[in-house]
Amino acid sequence: MALVVYNTLTGKKEEFIPLKDKEVKMYVCGVTLYDQLHLGHARAAVIFDFIRRYLEYRGYRVKYITNFTDVDDKMIDRAKALGISIFELANKFIEEYTEQMKILGVRRADEYPRATECMNEIIDLIKRLEEKGFAYRRNGDIFFRIKKFPQYGALSHQNLEELYAGARLEIDERKIDAVDFALWKKEREGEPSWDSPWGKGRPGWHIECSAMAMKLLGDQIDIHGGGRDLIFPHHENEIAQSEAATSKRFARYWIHNGLLTMRTQKMAKSTGNVFNLSQALERFGGETVRYYLLSAHYRSPLDYREETLREAASSLERIQNFLQRAQEIQEEEREAALSRNEEERVQALAQRAGRMEHDFVLAMDDDFSTPLVFSSVFEAVKMANLLMRKGAPLNKDARDTLLRVRKEIEKIGEVLSLFGDEKKDLGKDASQFIDLLVDLRDKLREKKEWKLADEIRKKLSALGIELEDTRTRTVWRLKEQSSSARGR
RNA sequence: GGCGGUGUAGCCAAGUGGUAAGGCAGAGGACUGCAAAUCCUUUAUCCCCGGUUCGAAUCCGGGUGCCGCCUCCA
């Protein structure tokens, strides 16, 4: 079986073959640190995180780099407004970023290069371009000469004429051609700058990524990722710069995630059309947000609606409920003879369990089809729930089969960074207290002290702990955060 | 205007020639002291029009809606 990925460069799904057997060099465009993250950023981060995890699951060693753009016009403006340096501003948002990624279950990248820490590499790269005749100076600014790079436009599938036809090209006297872009920007009064052979100034946005990727991963990388909105001009320019400098193919696979929209408009800071990530995480929790973002195929556009996020919480809960039930049923010791019907169900379920990992790989190998993965999980959950219905006693064979399903789902969950055991996060002490309360309440129930028992249940519920009285005993679980948000 | 993507139930979303998965929500029922969970039942002229085919959501042609990019943006 082969992993197939959609490559923006060719516009086709292609078999994934890295440069070096079993090794993947992956670079994903990170964020510019001038404002809080929104759900759209989270989408990109989660998507490339699970792609990375899946590649590792498939046996590749992945070197994963994502950058921080820590110098840029908007940052300068913002820092000025706040009366702090852009470095302080950057650090503040990096801290937020790190915390939020953790909540989202996004694993840390191998490195997080920052533009300001790669100035030497950036300057060297521009120098090389200048030596090769791809760059020209204009009064302290340096521009890339697009006409010198005939392949320009390959990624966005546009040629120069088509780009010229684009109505919104600015007219910039300094450029030879309107499509040329800045590699280095001359220092401006009161703004941060760095020394260079061309005088003081700072790098253009596009060159940063090329330099950082090449510094940490070499001239050629396997996967370059980012949002669709970066295809042009950012990634197009990256290709031009990198390939002009090295004469080598820069990235083999260009993977772009679909954008998150809101009220069918792209979610973007520049338009103020955003739903903040911090808000989303607070209201729904990291796992729900992650599940929500993964429930759509990574390439399709996703229109944010609060309702959908709430639905995601319910869906996730279904899986988690099953996982917990399957866990608890292991402790059951009674043996019961199964009916013919139940025997058949156990058999069917065992078959299903045996197929799950294969189905998972099949779905993911086809350009990372997470929606398909979930449907297979739900089907297994349904079959398993049917078997556990009413909490009637089962035999060991049935319990083992349920355990197997649970293990399979957890295995998938590991790759997707989902279905974690929340009780673990609660800590042992808290769990013990809750167990104690539940025990006491059971005693009350035996005495038919319904009023008091209900009160305990109600109060625990207010604290986010849901009780469930099954036929044999009472179990508890943490409520999805959205449940508490539901009433709002 | 150019380029790219996308259009399947109230919502999310599979399906790439064989007669529409799955989830959420809604309705009804079973179970339960109640609740929750769970189970059962129920919800689609697959954007439109032509064509190919015994047969099309799926292939071909033509429309059309929406989104993104063409300016900083995941």
CATH architecture of A305-420: Orthogonal Bundle (1.10)
Nucleotides of B strand lying within 7 Å of any protein CB atom: 1-7, 10-15, 21-25, 31-40, 66-74
- List chain A domain ranges: 4-304, 305-420
- From first to last of the 488 residues of chain A, give the pLDDT tens digit: 689 999 999 888 889 999 999 999 999 999 999 999 999 999 999 999 999 999 999 999 999 999 999 999 889 999 999 999 999 999 999 999 999 999 999 999 999 999 999 999 999 999 999 999 999 999 899 999 998 999 999 998 888 777 776 555 556 777 888 889 999 999 998 899 999 999 999 999 999 999 999 999 999 999 999 999 999 999 999 999 999 999 999 999 999 999 888 876 778 877 777 889 999 999 899 999 999 999 999 998 888 888 899 999 999 999 999 998 888 888 777 788 888 888 999 999 999 999 999 999 999 999 999 999 999 999 999 999 999 886 667 888 999 999 999 999 999 999 999 998 666 667 788 888 898 999 999 999 989 999 999 999 989 888 888 888 877 778 888 875 533 332 22
Query: What does the CA dihedral A264, A269, A275, A280 come to, rounded to 10 degrees?
Result: 140
Distance (Å, whole) CA A151 – CA A160: 10
Rounded CA gap, A224 and A29, in Å?
A: 8
A363 CA to B38 C1' in angstroms comes to: 28
**CA–C1' gap, A65 and B59, in angstroms:** 42
Rounded, the Å distance between the CA of A332 and C1' of B66 is 53
Q: Which residue is nearest to nucleotide B10 (CA to C1')?
A: A307
Intrachain domains A4-304 and A305-420 with the same fold:
no
- Span between the terminal Cα atoms of chain A, in Å: 48
Output the CA angle A414-A409-A55, nearest 5 degrees.
40
Cβ neighbours of residue A232 under 8 Å, at least 6 residues apart? A155, A156, A158
Q: Give pLDDT, residue A431.
A: 86
Burial call A288-301: b when 16+ CB within 10 Å, e when fewer: bbbbbbbbbbbbee
CA–C1' nearest nucleotide, residue A30: B74
pLDDT at A464: 82
Q: What are phi and psi of A275, to 5 degrees?
A: -120, 115
The interface pTM score, or ipTM, of the predicted complex is 0.93
Nucleotide nearest the Cα atom of A261 (by C1'): B67
CA A346 – C1' B43 distance (Å)?
30
Token digits for A480?
Answer: 């999805």
Neighbours of A172 (CB within 10 A): 15
Q: In the structure, how far is the CA atom of residue A373 from the C1' atom of nucleotide B43, in angstroms?
A: 24
Closest residue by C-alpha to C1' distance, nucleotide B40: A386
Q: How far is the CA of A68 from the C1' of B7 (A)?
A: 36
Cβ contact A423:A478 at 8 Å = yes
Q: Which residues pair with A184 in a beta bridge?
A: A142, A203
- CATH superfamily for A4-304 is HUPs (3.40.50.620)
> CA-to-CA distance for A431 and A440, rounded, in angstroms?
14
